[in-house]
C-alpha cells in the first residue's frame, strides 16, 4: 500500500459521502452535482488511462451498491469515462484549466445521455429534450460550478504526491 493508494481511496470515499449528504441538501430544483465524475475524469487526464479506469470503476461500484438496481452498471459507465479521459493525459498541463473543464463537461453530459438511453429510453420514455433540459444540462452546469472549487484541490493533492514520488525515486538512484 503506497501513500497514493491510501489518499485516492480516502478521496473516493470522501466525495461519495459528500455527494450523498451535503450536495443533496445543496441541490437546486432537485438537481445536484456529480462530483464522482469530477474525480474520475480529473484523475483520468492527470494520471492516465489505467488510473482513470480504476478510479471510475471504484466510484461506480460504490454508487451501484448503494443506489443502483444492477451491480456494475454505473461502474462500467464511469470506468469508460475514466479510460477515455486518460487518453488526454498527453496534452494535459497543470496550468491549463480549459482542457479539464471541457473534459468534465463532456464526461458529465455523456454520462447523463448514456444513463438516459439505457435506463429511460429503453423503458419507452421518449421525450429526450425534456430530460436533457431538465436533468442532464442542469447537472452538467452545476457540476462545472463545483469543478471550479473542487478541481484545484484534486490538482494540488496530485502535484504534492507526484513531487513526493519523484523525490523518493531520486533517492533510490
Partner 1 sequence: MSPIIRKKGEKFTLPGKYLLFILTFVCCTMMLLTFGTDIFNKPLNTVVGYVVVPFQEGISKMGSWLSNRTDELVQIRQLLEENASLKEQVAQLTEENTILQQEKYELNTLRELIRLSDEYGDYEKVGARVISRDAGNWYSTFIIDKGTEDGLCVDMNVIAGGGLVGKITSVGMNWARVTSIISDNSHVSAKTLTTGDNMVVAGDLKLMAEGVISFSYLLDSTGNVAEGDKVVTSHISDVYLPNISIGYIHTITQDSNNLTKSGYITPVVDFEHLEVVLVILDLKQQADESEADIQQ
Does residue 126 interact with partner 1 by CB under 8 A?
A: no
Q: Are 106 and 37 in contact (CB under 8 A)?
A: no
Judged by CB under 8 A, which of 135, 141, 155, 161 binds partner 1? 135
Supply the DSSP symbol for 26.
Answer: T
CA distance 23 to 172: 44
Question: Which is nearer to partner 1, 82 or 100 (by Cβ)?
Answer: 82
Residues from 42 through 81 that contact partner 1 (CB under 8 A)? 48-50, 53-54, 57, 62-63, 65-67, 69-73, 75-76, 79-80
Residue 142: count of CB within 10 angstroms of its CB = 20
| 34 is a site residue for partner 1 (CB under 8 A) | yes
- Residue among 75, 38, 33 nearest 54 (CA): 75
- By CB under 8 A, tell whether 29 contacts partner 1: yes
Q: Least distance in Å: CB of 54 to partner 1? A: 7
Measured CA to CA, the distance from residue 132 to residue 138 in angstroms comes to 8
The residue count for binding partner 1 (CB under 8 A) is 49
User: 143 to 162, contacts with partner 1 by CB under 8 A?
Assistant: none
Q: Where are the alpha helices (DSSP H) in the chain?
A: 3-20, 22-25, 35-47, 49-67, 73-86, 98-119, 128-131, 137-172
Footprint on this chain of partner 1 (rule: CB under 8 A): 13, 16-22, 24-25, 29-32, 34, 36, 48-50, 53-54, 57, 62-63, 65-67, 69-73, 75-76, 79-80, 83, 86, 115, 119-120, 123, 125, 127, 130-131, 134-135, 139
Amino acid at each position: 500500500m503506497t501513500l497514493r493508494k491510501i489518499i485516492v481511496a480516502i478521496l473516493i470515499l470522501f466525495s461519495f459521502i459528500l455527494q450523498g449528504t451535503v450536495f443533496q441538501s445543496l441541490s437546486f430544483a432537485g438537481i445536484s452535482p456529480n462530483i464522482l465524475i469530477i474525480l474520475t475524469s480529473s484523475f483520468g487526464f492527470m494520471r492516465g488511462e489505467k488510473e482513470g479506469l480504476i478510479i471510475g470503476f471504484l466510484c461506480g461500484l460504490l454508487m451501484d451498491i448503494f443506489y443502483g438496481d444492477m451491480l456494475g452498471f454505473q461502474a462500467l459507465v464511469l470506468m469508460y469515462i475514466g479510460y477515455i479521459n486518460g487518453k488526454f493525459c498527453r496534452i494535459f498541463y497543470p496550468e491549463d484549466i480549459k482542457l479539464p473543464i471541457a473534459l468534465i463537461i463532456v464526461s458529465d453530459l455523456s454520462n447523463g445521455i448514456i444513463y438516459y438511453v439505457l435506463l429511460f429510453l429503453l423503458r419507452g420514455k421518449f421525450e429526450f429534450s425534456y430530460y436533457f433540459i431538465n436533468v442532464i444540462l442542469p447537472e452538467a452546469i452545476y457540476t462545472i460550478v463545483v469543478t471550479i472549487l473542487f478541481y484545484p484541490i484534486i490538482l494540488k493533492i496530485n502535484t504534492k504526491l507526484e513531487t513526493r514520488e519523484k523525490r523518493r525515486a531520486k533517492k533510490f538512484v
